[in-house]
Amino acid sequence: MTSSSNQSPETSPGAVVNAPVSQPDNRAELIERARSFLISPQIRHEDVFAKRRFLVEKGLSDPEIAGLLQGLARIS
């Protein structure tokens, strides 16, 4: 005899287990945090290679990094 209330979270309808970090909302948040990082006074004048290396380590893609750095160049 099995009832639906005995289902584990992995099998219950609508359960989210180990959601990937790259979901659209999380990706947008990651990019926003990277943008804030790049415009911070402590980082703004750092070497572009150091900035790029840091952003790669945080999981941003080359096109995302290029877009952020281009945007930074426009506001400098």
Q: Does the domain made of 20-75 have the CATH classification 1.20.120.10? A: no
* pLDDT for position 43: 92
What type of residue is 13? P
Per-residue pLDDT of the chain (76 residues; tens, 9 = 90+): 544 445 444 444 554 455 454 455 699 999 999 999 999 999 988 999 999 999 999 999 999 999 999 998 887 6
* Amino acid 45: pLDDT: 87
Domain spans in the chain, listed from the N-terminal domain onward: 20-75
Four-residue CA torsion sign, 32, 30, 64, 24: negative
